[in-house]
């Protein structure tokens, strides 16, 4: 089974590229983030024509997550159980489903904005709730993964220049500690390294020629339990999909499972 995660940065804007990528990549399950549409606007019909079922949790604006599957889509849970609200709203940042032999979560972790901002504290609370919510599945025997845009670079090697991020979110000790706490539930980063590129980033800002200069970050991650990690045959960042007109600022991360 080929499974992937991709922050598409608006599924409406990215739909032609998404459909072409699904056909060419042979992906069976895709976790999507930042749909930027309502559930009614989600292009389920176009995806169904390619053989994909869709589970969507979205309200418009800048959030929204989904899971696309051509190997089954069962036991869908929308939202983060026990998750915090921000400004009184439970944002659509997680969705989970069983797809064939695996259970997967698609997550879009809050950005945090600035270290002193309320959104940063919300990000840490959200990650704590995620760790609690996935504990049972992470410790189970069924292949299980939490995939998506974590908005955290796990190590200094996962940013193009540590000095450029000094004092900023995405690289702080509390954020990385939250990732470590999630891994302590029995999850590991399953995308093998080193990959084709010395710095297998997954995100490059649109501004200041960041992609041509490879000034990126690795913030899109696949964390799997022992059963999932044991089934991994290969993994890669599809950097080519970040190229060209109309690309998302994130690249898909793809994992092949022997299941």
Q: How many CB atoms lie within 10 A of CB 179?
A: 21
Instruction: Give pLDDT, residue 193.
Output: 62
Q: Is this structure's pTM higher than 0.75? A: yes
Mean pLDDT within 167-189: 97
Instruction: Give pLDDT, residue 199.
Output: 62
- Residue 121: is it exposed, middle or buried by C-beta count within 10 angstroms (0-12/13-18/19+)? middle
CB 104 within 8 A of CB 147: yes
Per residue in 76-132, pLDDT tens? 999 999 999 999 999 999 999 999 999 999 999 999 999 999 999 999 999 999 999
Instruction: Give pLDDT, residue 44.
Output: 98
pLDDT band of 147, cuts 50, 70, 90: very high
CA distances (Å), origin 239, targets 19, 128, 208, 216, 252: 17, 31, 18, 11, 7
Mean pLDDT within 212-229: 97
Instruction: Return d(Cα 7, Cα 248) in angstroms, integer.
Output: 7
The DSSP output letter for 208 is: G
Q: What is the mean pLDDT of the chain?
A: 95
**CATH for the 2-257 domain, from 3.60.10.10, 3.40.50.2000, 3.30.300.30, 3.30.43.10:** 3.60.10.10
**What is the per-residue DSSP string for 30-81?**
EEEE---SBTTTS-HHHHHHTT-EEEEE-BSTT--EEEEESS--EEEEES-T
Mean pLDDT within 158-187: 96
Q: Are strands 74-78 and 65-69 parallel, antiparallel or unpaired?
A: unpaired
CA distances (Å), origin 50, targets 19, 23, 74: 8, 8, 19
CA dihedral 72, 242, 61, 84 (to 10 degrees): 70
**Domain limits of the chain?**
2-257
On the question of pLDDT at 192 being above 70, the answer is: no
Per residue in 32-56, pLDDT tens? 999 999 999 999 999 999 999 999 9
């Amino acid at each position: 089974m080929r499974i992937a995660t991709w922050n598409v940065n608006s599924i409406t804007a990215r739909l032609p590229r998404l459909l072409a990528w699904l056909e060419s990549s042979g992906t069976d399950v895709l976790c999507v983030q930042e749909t930027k549409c309502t559930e009614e606007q989600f292009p389920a019909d176009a995806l169904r024509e390619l053989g994909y079922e869709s589970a969507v949790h979205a309200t418009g604006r800048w959030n929204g997550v989904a899971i696309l599957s051509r190997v089954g889509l069962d036991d869908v849970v929308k939202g983060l159980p026990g998750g915090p609200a921000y400004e009184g709203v439970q944002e659509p940042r997680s969705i989970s489903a069983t797809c064939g032999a695996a259970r997967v979560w698609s997550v879009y972790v809050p950005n945090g904005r600035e270290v002193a901002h309320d959104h940063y504290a919300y990000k840490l609370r959200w990650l704590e709730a995620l760790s609690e919510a996935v504990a049972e599945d992470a410790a189970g025997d069924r292949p299980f993964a939490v995939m998506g845009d974590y908005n955290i670079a796990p190590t200094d090697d996962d940013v193009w220049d540590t000095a450029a991020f000094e004092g900023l979110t995405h690289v702080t000790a509390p954020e990385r500690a939250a990732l470590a706490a999630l891994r302590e539930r029995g999850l590991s980063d399953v995308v093998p390294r080193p990959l084709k590129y010395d710095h297998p980033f997954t995100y490059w800002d649109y501004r200041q020629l960041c992609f041509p200069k490879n000034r990126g970050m690795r913030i899109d991650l696949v964390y799997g339990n022992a059963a999932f990690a044991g089934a991994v045959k290969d993994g890669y960042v599809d950097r080519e999909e970040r190229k060209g007109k109309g690309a998302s600022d994130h690249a898909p991360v793809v994992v092949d499972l022997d299941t």
